[in-house]
Amino acid sequence: MDALPEKKNADAVPQRPTRRNFLGKSALLGLTGAGLTLGLAGCKDDGAAKGAAASASAKAAGAPQAAGHEVAPGQLDEYYHFTSGGHSGEARILGLPSGRTLRRIPVFNIDPMVGWGLTNESKAIIGTKPDGSLKYTTGDTHHIHGSYKDGTYDGRWLFVNDKIHARLARIRMDTMECDKIVEIPNIQGFHGIFPDKCDPVDAKVNYTTRVFCGAEFHIPLPNDGRDLNDPSKWGCLFSCVDAATMEVRWQCRVDGNMDLIATSYDGKLAASNQYNTENAFDLAGMMASERDACVFFNVGRIEQMIKDGKFTTIGSSKVPVVDGRKAANADPKTALTCYVPVSKNPHGVNASPDGKYFVCSGKLSPTATVIDLSLVHKWFAGELKDERASVVAEPEIGLGPLHTGFDGKGNAYTSLFLDSQIVKWNVDKAIAQFKGDKAAKVVLDRLDVHYQPGHTYCSMGETKEADGKYFNSGNKFSKDRFLPVGPLHPETEQLIVISGEKMVMIADHTAYPEPHDGIIVRRDIVKTRQIYNMDDFPNAVKTPADSRVERKGNKVSIFLMSQAPSYSMPVIKVKKGDEVTLTLTNHDKVEDLTHGCAIPTYNVNFIVNPQETKSVTFKADRAGAFWIYCTHFCHALHLEMRSRLLVEA
């Protein structure tokens, strides 16, 4: 496991050259002598500027927030809000409580601003066909979760799914960029994900090592044209991906369609709420049973079985597959899975911060089901009469319950899709009521939200550091909440303060459709880097002498440097029909001093951050003169930052 970034005070001011300071100084330099000899990497802040910045930061950190959700100019948000982007295929970062959009992270989509899906490096991550074009250009992100250490977020990775094409992506939180994507075999409708919080076998490994992935849709196994007319032979698999290598470790066949996933704090259990435990293939069949289930996976037993060689594979896939269906796991003492009956068509399963319970919401029942994990372990040990005996509460909380968050004080907050409400209820009171205490007051508060709430979550809510400060309600069908912009309306992220006895809504935040799940992370946990290390890029153009054009037949490689306000070669010549690979290294060392690179008519547009290297490959199929120009404002002479690409006929 690579070393994590060094922890720093959340309010410390980075003592490094700033873009603002650089622009003020280098503008004068640029007017007297533009070129690569400006020494831009050496610009420094003076002591007065550092002192003023530190003073402002300290003042911002200690000052109370303005009324409501406003964050005053110059002040920072308290939390990062990481959310999926839905069928945009991206992930997003907002600041809370302001709701300001800080960044959109391209993952499964093409983003011409950063060049994601256009550069060779990003194409290699996304995946390409033999001709070099992207294998997929669409994605559908639903669930995003962070990696853990000691039961809380460690600021290392984010993981997000692509429901359409069964892909799991990993995002580095130091750069907020996707670094790996894996396509999971043998599944469709890849919906829920959740990282483990601790190794299931070695308790000393108290950080994320695996990511668990659910699948909704039954498909033929293998899905190669066989059994198309006999859905009774189709199957559904639960998958485990290695967090470090992003390779699929194993798969487990299950009954039912999986929705969301939760993991225990001891690492030993993962679970998914299930609908269609009937294994039907039409709506009527899916609704036949009185209950569905929350299926628990005994991770240690599954991995021991695979270690013992007791597995199969499917088709051309080499991934080990074990049978977790109920019929094959009748003996609790050897079972890989435990199917706990819950209300029909449950939606969402969430882990309480104390590590004791998983909560499933009923969706078609006005109830939430509380499952005691210690009793699930007892079932696996053969010490519980049946799976249902692990249920310790099932309070009636309202119509259409979906997702549940926790405040770390024993209270749960569940979205009610049909009631258009958030309900606050107490877990211990619900357990007491289930045991027969008719005086137990389970529901503590209700708050109307606007239209239909879907995914909801509390600040730090599924960590042992749940702080009970904010609750986010992601609502559908926002309609008249905002100015009309046509038939398609923005979605609504409504921010609710939960620190008091009563919930208080303080803000509406718009969201481009259609985000799903998210997490709210304290800002001190996130440690981003300001510049790259040029040595991390084997193809970096490290010196002006390395700027060159190399030809091997009709394959031409261009090695180019950028340093505001110039590229290292003013003129570049190639021939029509050449396959051209342009590699660009940014030599500036000033934070946020990013350069762009665009070539008209050649579909080239990307950026390189300080000390970063990227490359693109294109066919020079048009003769003529084409200006390579910087697309990202970098200098007072930004408009003059160009090179000439001459394509000779």
CATH at 561: 2.60.40.420
Please give the pLDDT value at position 288.
82
Of 126, 156, 183, the residue that ends a domain is 183
What's the pLDDT band for 329 if we cut at 50, 70, 90?
very high
365 belongs to a structural domain: no
Provide the token pair at 164.
């359409």
pLDDT higher than 80, residue 375: yes
User: By CB neighbour count within 10 A (0-12 exposed, 13-18 middle, 19+ buried), where does 270 fall?
Assistant: buried
Give the residue carrying structure tokens 């610009």: 43
Question: Of 164, 183, 202, which one is at a domain's C-terminal end?
Answer: 183
pLDDT bin (cut points 50, 70, 90) of residue 283 is confident
Query: For 519-531, how does the pLDDT look when each residue is reduced to its tens digit (9 = 90+)?
Result: 999 999 999 999 9
Q: Quick check: 303 and 201 in contact, CB under 8 A? A: yes
The whole-angstrom separation of Cα 611 and Cα 118 is: 20
> Which among 201, 332, 361 is positioned nearest to 269, based on CA atoms?
201
Residue 348 Ramachandran class (φ > 0 left, ψ -120 to 50 alpha, else beta)? left
Phi and psi at residue 387, in whole multiples of 5°?
Answer: -65, -35
CB-hemisphere CA count at 13 Å for 50? 9
Structure tokens at 2: 């690579």
**What is the DSSP code string of 187-256?**
-EEEEEEEE-SS-SS-TT--B--EEEEEEEE-B-SS-SSTTTT-GGG-BEEEEEEETTT--EEEEEEESS
Of 606, 592, 593, the residue nearest 635 (C-alpha): 593
pLDDT at 380 over 50: yes
Residue 180: the pLDDT is 98
Is 85 contained in some domain? yes
Q: 285 pLDDT band (50/70/90 cuts)? A: confident
pLDDT for 237 beyond 80: yes
What is the spatial distance between Cα 154 and Cα 361, in angstroms, rounded to a whole number? 28
d(C-alpha 76, C-alpha 53), whole Å:
13
Q: Check whether 20 has a pLDDT greater than 60.
A: no
pLDDT class for 67, splitting at 50, 70, 90?
Answer: very low
- The answer to whether 622 and 606 are in contact (CB under 8 A) is no
pLDDT of residue 607: 97
Selected residue with higher pLDDT from 633 and 28: 633
In a domain, 34, yes or no: no
The mean pLDDT of the chain is 90
Q: Give the whole-angstrom CA distance, residue 294 versus residue 369.
A: 10
CA gap 291, 240 in Å, rounded = 27
Domain for residue 84, yes or no?
yes
- For residue 307, give both structure tokens: 């270690």
State the residue range of the domain holding 85.
68-183
Percent of the chain with pLDDT over 90: 82
**Residue 115 zone, left/alpha/beta (φ > 0; ψ -120 to 50; rest):** left
**Torsions phi, psi of 423, nearest 5?**
-115, 130
In a domain, 331, yes or no: no
* Tokens 């033999």 -> residue: 130
CA distance 151 to 173: 18
pLDDT grade for 36, boundaries at 50, 70 and 90: very low
Q: Shortest CA distance to 90 belongs to which of 49, 126, 54? A: 126
pLDDT at 25: 52
DSSP string of 319-363, one letter each residue: --EEE--GGG---TTT-SEEEEEESSS---EEE-TTSSEEEEE-S
d(CA 166, CA 158): 17
Q: Give the model's confidence band at 15: pLDDT under 50 very low, under 70 low, under 90 confident, else very high.
A: very low
* Better pLDDT: 50 or 334: 334
- Of 136, 155, 183, which closes a domain? 183
Which residues lie closer than 8 Å to 266 by C-beta, 6 or more apart? Answer: 198, 200, 203, 355
**Cα–Cα distances in angstroms (integers) from residue 131 to residues 47, 127, 578, in the given order:** 55, 11, 16
pLDDT of residue 284: 85
Token pair recorded at residue 3: 């070393």
pLDDT at 17: 52
pLDDT of 68 = 60
pLDDT of amino acid 582? 98
The reply to whether 105 falls in a domain is yes
Mean pLDDT of 367-395: 97
Cβ contact 218:234 at 8 Å = yes
> Is 137 inside a domain boundary?
yes
pLDDT digits (tens, 9 = 90+) for 259-276: 999 999 999 999 999 998
**Cis amide bond preceding 453, omega within 30:** no
Number of domains in the chain: 2
The answer as to whether 289 is a domain residue is: no
